[in-house]
Amino acid sequence: MWFFSSPNVVFGEGALGSLDTLKGRCACIVTDANLVALGFLERVRGTLASTGIEIAVIDNVESDPSIETVKAGAKRMLEIKPDWIIALGGGSVIDAAKGMWILYEHPDFDPESINPIDHIGLRVKARFIAIPTTAGTGSEATWAIVLTNRAEKRKLGLGNREAVADIAILDPEIIRDLPARITAETGLDALTHAIEGFTSTYANDFCDGLCLQAARLVFDYLPRCYHDGHDMDARTHMQNAACIAGLGFGNSMAALAHGMGHALGGALHVPHGRAVALFLPYTIEYCVHTGNTRYAALAKFLGLPAGNEVEAAANLVEAIRKLEREIEQPLTLPEAGIDQGMFDQALQQLIANALNDSQTIMATRIPEEADLRRLFTCAFNGEKVNF
C-alpha cells in the first residue's frame, strides 16, 4: 500500500492574488529576515489586507533550520493561535514551518521522532499554505521535512504524509529577481528530485510522468533562467518544474545523491541543491553497475542515446555535467570549496551521515561504508565511478 498526496496548486501569473479569497481568523506567516527586507512579506500582507484576517509573523528562520528554531516557532504559535500557517520562503522556511505546524498541533511531540508511518492528526488547529520563493526544493508539494541537529552536525530527513500543504501558490513574479547562483542551485535540486524520483526503489506509476516531465523542463528552461532572470516564460516553467518534481519524488523517494548531499550539507554547509547535484552523476555511475536501474527510459525521454542502461547512464551523466557547467556549478568537492584538509577531517562524518540518511537506502544499489568512502573520494578527485 502506498499513497499519493498533493496540495491544491495555484500557479501562473497573478497566483498570489488568490490569497484575497482566504477565509479565517488569524494567519501566521513564517519567513526569513532576507525575504522581509526584499519586500515579500509586505506583498503577502497587502494581498491579505482585504480578507480581514489578523496577521502574525515569525521571520527568523535560518537556512538549514535547526530543531531549536522549530520549537521556538511552535511556542510562538501556541500563543498566537493561528488557523492558517503561511510559509513564505525557500525549502528551509517551508520545512521549518511544517515542523512548527506539527509541534503547534501536538506540543508534546519530539520533532526528531516525526516519521512517515504514524498518524499525527494535523489540521485540528490550522491549515497550511506554502508560497515558494525559489524554484527547486519542491517542499511546497512534499511531506518531507529536513531539519538540522546542530550539536551532531547532521541533517534529519523527517516527514509525515499529513504534513503536505493544503495550498501551494506558485507565482512567477515572486522568483523574478532570484539571484543567478540561487536559481542554479535550487534548479539543480529540482533536477535531482526528478531523476531520483524516477529511479529510486519507490518509483511508481503515479510519479513516473511527473518526474520525466520535470526533468525535461529543467534541462530546457534552467539555463534560460540562469542567463536572464527576467525571462518570465522560463521562470514560469522552472517554477512549475520544481513543484512537479516535488510531487514526483515526494510520492516516490529521493535516493543516494540526497543521502550524500544531506551528509555534505550537515558536515560542511554546502547548499542543498549544489550538494545533491554535485553527487548525482557519481551516484548514477555507481548504481548502473549492479543496480536495477531505469536510466534508458529516462535518457530516451530526454532525447539522449540509450541503447542500454550503461550507455544511457553515461549520456545522462554527460548531459547533467554539461548543464552544471553551463550554469557554473561545481562538479567536484574542491570546486565546491572543500580542500584536502577539510575533506580528510570530515570524511568519516560524511560516511556516517550518509549511512544514516533515510534516502540512501532508497537507491537501487545501497552502498556500505567502504563504497561510500570511495564514492566521496571520487567526488573529491573528479574521478569516474567504476566499481
Give contact residues for Zn ion (rule: CB under 5 A). 189
Name the residue whose CB lies closest to Zn ion.
189
By beta-carbon proximity to Zn ion, the closer residue of 240 and 315 is: 240
CB atoms within 10 A of CB 34: 13
By beta-carbon proximity to Zn ion, the closer residue of 73 and 246 is: 246
Largest Cα–Cα separation, the chain: 62
Calpha distance 163→98 (Å, rounded): 6
Query: What is the grid cell recorded at 251?
Result: 510520492
Q: How far is the CB of 169 from Zn ion (least distance, A)?
A: 20
Q: How far is the CB of 283 from Zn ion (least distance, A)?
A: 13
By beta-carbon proximity to Zn ion, the closer residue of 73 and 265 is: 265
Calpha distance 238→236 (Å, rounded): 5
Q: Return phi, psi of residue 369, to 5°.
A: -55, -45
Q: How far is the CB of 194 from Zn ion (least distance, A)?
A: 10
Q: How far is the CB of 276 from Zn ion (least distance, A)?
A: 5
Calpha distance 283→290 (Å, rounded): 12
Q: How far is the CB of 46 from Zn ion (least distance, A)?
A: 31
By beta-carbon proximity to Zn ion, the closer residue of 16 and 363 is: 363
By beta-carbon proximity to Zn ion, the closer residue of 53 and 215 is: 215
Structure-derived torsion over alpha carbons of residues 345, 348, 349, 355, reported in degrees to the nearest 10 = 160
Which of the 8 DSSP states describes residue 65?
-
Strand partners, 85: 28, 128
Q: How far is the CB of 248 from Zn ion (least distance, A)?
A: 12
By beta-carbon proximity to Zn ion, the closer residue of 32 and 196 is: 196
Q: How far is the CB of 308 from Zn ion (least distance, A)?
A: 29
C-beta separation of 93 from 32 below 8 A: yes
By beta-carbon proximity to Zn ion, the closer residue of 140 and 189 is: 189
DSSP string of 237-260, one letter each residue = HHHHHHHHHHHHHHHS---HHHHH
By beta-carbon proximity to Zn ion, the closer residue of 189 and 309 is: 189
- Give buried/exposed letters for 234-262 (b at 16+ CB in 10 A, else e): bbbbbbbbbbbbbbbbbbbbbbbbbbbbb
% helix, strand, coil for the chain, step of 5 = 55, 10, 35
Structure-derived torsion over alpha carbons of residues 98, 103, 106, 109, reported in degrees to the nearest 10 = 110
Q: How far is the CB of 187 from Zn ion (least distance, A)?
A: 11
